[in-house]
Amino acid sequence: MNSQRQSPIYRSRLLQPGADRSPDTHPLTWRLRDDGQVVGLKEYESKEGYQAVSQVLNGRDPGAVIATMKEANVRGRGGAGFSAGVKWSLTLQGGDMPRGYIVCNADEMEPGTFKDRLLMEQQPHLLIEGMILAAFANNARYGYIFLRGEYVESARVLSAALAEAREAGWLGPDIAGSGFDFDIALHTGAGRYICGEETALLNSLEGHRANPRAKPPFPGQSGAWGKPTVVNNVETLCNVPAVMLRGADWYQELSGDRSEDGGTKLYGASGLVNRPGLWELPIGTTGREILELASGLRDDRQLKAWLPGGASTGFLLPEHLDLPLDFDTVGKEGSRLGTGLITVVTEDQSMVSLMRNLEEFFARESCGWCTPCREGLPWTVKLLLALERGEGEVGDIELLDKLAADCGPGLTFCAHAPGAAMPLETALRHFRHEFEQGVHYPKGKAHADPIPVGEV
């Protein structure tokens, strides 16, 4: 058995032990084995596996599939929350159009996020089935799984599952006797965070430098090798088989009265919690409920702030714990749902040190394509390092404000710099006093003692 499977933190990434999971309530995780082993082809087929493919490819037209996805309102689980059905409806299709590609974005490099890894390593056929259905809806002839290079175990499991599916006739020519041909290749990336941006991913897939592309044209019109291309996240695609089997109304009802968004979500928690992990819950579940599933904070620490969905989301406060975690509600509070995996910050952690750590990551991962990102993020790191050491100068905090604003939405080539700016902007808004304590004032002016770095 792989050593990853034996670690307590990896085992905790399932639902709570003994949870009552069923296909009607937990479409993403009901098939998971209690021992954490891979759900192979035979077991997957015995649990409704590939039933959606057989039904859809032999009984529906692509337009009906897209209409169902739009009605269900399956919003992208990679972070942006854009409707998958709407995205599919914008893809160039028709008898006179070239057949394009389905690309699965499995480049899961968002700090604090590990949800797609669980799906790929324990039930890879769910992803494969979702890609087949997406390909049928979008007139695609071939698919790629663009996988984070460090996910070695995911690559092993997916490679084996693709071979199983091909041998069983679920991939290749004439799938399920429908006359539809489709196959998938696994492509491992070279470890660049920027490949999470769909057009940078496509450039990398083609063998070019991973820079974002200008839009328009969007990938649905001209994507991989100039052909119509749909790029969806792993979790997004894994929702498709259940939606096709059970319908849009069922999917919408999964969230109950918690949210206007439908379905479930893989939520999670990491940081100084007692039980880091993942849980499939109705979308609109609150942060407080997730922290309760994580058994609270370690050593009775007090919560200072939390990121709702990875390092590129804005900080929320303890008073926000009872908000439903859906795309629109979190957006109204000045943050983003992102990937839905909470990272906690406790009272004994320095916000300055934490932000310096995050901005170092974003500065290192910048592709360098546009000036605000290429020059602004390293300068942000220099200012934060000075404040962390208590060597900041008067005006440094105001300069951080300006750098965050200059990296905001609409001012850079892609969303990398705005993602780096959002946690900084919210940290400065909520915890400005901590940054002010790192300013070394001229002699004779009062200033506070630097706060301790704490555990980050």
What are the chain's domains?
A: 3-253 (3.40.50.11540), 264-346 (3.10.20.600), 351-436 (1.20.1440.230)
Q: Which residues contact 70 (CB under 8 A, 6 or more apart)?
A: 83, 85, 86, 89
Q: Nearest-CA neighbor of 10 among 281, 275, 298, 292?
A: 275
* Backbone φ and ψ of 63, nearest 5°: -60, -35
Q: Which two tokens stand for residue 455?
A: 């555990």
Cα distances from 199 to residues 156, 195, 204, 220, in angstroms, run 26, 8, 9, 11
Contact between 53 and 130 under an 8 Å Cβ cutoff? The reply is no
Task: Single out the residue of 421, 124, 112 nearest to residue 290, CA to CA.
Answer: 112
The pair phi, psi for residue 241, each rounded to 5°, is: -55, -45
Per-residue pLDDT of the chain (456 residues; tens, 9 = 90+): 333 333 333 333 444 444 578 999 999 999 999 999 999 999 999 999 999 999 999 999 999 999 999 999 999 998 888 999 999 999 877 666 678 999 999 999 999 999 999 999 999 999 999 999 999 999 999 999 999 999 999 999 999 999 999 999 999 999 999 999 999 999 999 888 999 999 999 999 999 999 999 989 999 999 999 999 999 999 999 999 999 999 999 999 998 888 888 899 999 999 999 999 999 999 999 999 999 999 999 999 999 999 999 999 999 999 999 999 999 999 999 999 999 999 999 999 999 999 999 999 999 999 999 999 999 999 999 999 999 999 999 999 999 999 999 998 888 989 999 999 999 999 999 999 999 999 987 765 555 444 444 443
The closest alpha carbon to 219, from 281, 164, 113, 146, belongs to 146
Please enumerate, as own/partner, the contacts of 380-389 that have beta carbons within 8 Å and a separation of 24 or more: 380/404, 380/420, 380/424, 381/356, 384/352, 384/355, 384/356, 384/359, 385/356, 386/438, 387/352, 387/356, 387/435, 387/438, 387/439, 388/350, 388/352, 388/353, 388/356, 388/438, 388/453, 389/438
Q: What is the pLDDT of residue 445?
A: 56
CA distances to 75, 254, 259, 284 from 262, rounded to whole Å, are 8, 6, 7, 9
Model pLDDT, residue 21: 83
User: Residue 13's pLDDT is what?
Assistant: 41
Burial grade of 302 (CB within 10 A; 0-12, 13-18, 19 or more): exposed
Q: Max Cα separation, the chain?
A: 84
Q: Which residues, at least 6 apart from 423, have a Cβ–Cβ distance to it below 8 Å?
A: 307, 311, 312, 313, 314, 315, 355, 358
Angstrom distance (rounded) from CA 358 to CA 360: 5
CA distances in angstroms from 212 to 83, 142, 161, 201, listed in the order given: 21, 22, 31, 8
Side chain identity at residue 220, one-letter code: G
Separation CA 402–CA 399 (nearest Å) = 5
Q: Which residue has the tokens 């070279």?
A: 190
